[in-house]
Amino acid sequence: MPAQHDIAAETELWDAYAASAFEDDAEPSFCWTQYAGHGPGPELLGEPRSVLEIGCGTGRSLAYLAQRGIAARGVDLSPVMVEKTTTKWAGTGAEFVCSEALEYLSEHKEVYDAVYSIFGAAWFTDPGRLFPLVRRRLKPGGVFAFSQPPAIPGAYGPQGMYKGGFAGKAMFTYRYSYRPAVWERLLTRAGFAVADARILGAPQPGHIGTLLVHAVTP
């Protein structure tokens, strides 16, 4: 049976995450990996004039880009998170929209120089549905880039994930894991001209690395 996304339930899960993960004193920053200052920076996006972040969470990277003159919009499923980011980053020019990513990409016809996700919606949505939608929302030569943890060997496809411990209300979502070669195949199948997926090692040997994916439209 395929993954059974229940968007209302996932929204509740991410609202709970927002309540604990958002830091009022956060500063704008841009990092693809889970290790501050490690790995490439926003140059992976090229030199965009407009970007869309899908699953933008705390909004720190959008605030960083907006402060550098880029038209920066983010979509996130959690109304709690979007309320917090809209207030927190109001002075930067970044714009935050509360929406499910697939729905937003289907319904809004605006196109961008780059679409990206940092441990965001590209991790939590079916790539078979997401990638063709992202491709349509990019200008020619536009960049799609995302990062997330690498797959655990042998555990591929949608992976069910409960919120918090294993007691209490059953809140779950799915995250999607594949080997780099499979990510590349999914992207070229969705019409991207170039696709590169690789695993960047952690700063410390034996620690969890980061899957980094970069694709360009024809």
Ligand X SMILES: C[S@@+](CC[C@H](N)C(=O)[O-])C[C@H]1O[C@@H](n2cnc3c(N)ncnc32)[C@H](O)[C@@H]1O
Q: Provide the binding-site residues for ligand X, judged by CB under 6 A.
A: 14, 54-55, 57-58, 60, 75-78, 81, 100-101, 118-121, 124-125
Residue 102 CB, shortest distance to ligand X, in Å, is 6
CA distance linking residue 100 with residue 109, whole number of Å: 15
Name which of 81 and 138 has its Cβ closer to ligand X. 81
Per-residue 3-state assignment (H helix, E strand, C coil) for the chain: CCCCCCHHHHHHHHHHHHHHHCCCCCCCCCCCCCCCCCCCCHHHHCCCCEEEEECCCCCHHHHHHHCCCCEEEEEECCHHHHHHHHHHCHHHCCEEEECCHHHHHHHCCCCEEEEEEECCHHHHCCHHHHHHHHHHCEEEEEEEEEEECCCCCCCCEEEEEECCCCCCCCCEEEEEECCHHHHHHHHHHCCCCEEEEEEECCCCCCCCCEEEEEEECC
Question: Residue 61 or residue 217: which is nearer to ligand X going by CB?
Answer: 61
Q: Which of residues 86 and 188 has its CB atom nearest to ligand X in the complex?
A: 86
Q: Which is nearer to ligand X, 60 or 73 (CB)?
A: 60
Torsion, Cα 54 58 62 63, to 10 degrees, reads: 160
Minimum distance from CB of 80 to ligand X (Å)?
9
Shortest approach of ligand X to residue 114 CB, angstroms? 15
Our CB check for ligand X shows the closer of 12 and 196 to be 12
Q: Which residue has the CB atom at the shortest distance from ligand X?
A: 57
Angle between helices 127-136 and 180-189 (to 10 degrees): 50
Nearer to ligand X, 100 or 184 (CB): 100
Q: Minimum distance between the CB of residue 193 and ligand X, rounded to whole angstroms?
A: 26
CB of 1 to ligand X, least distance (A): 20
Least CB distance to ligand X at residue 187 (A): 18
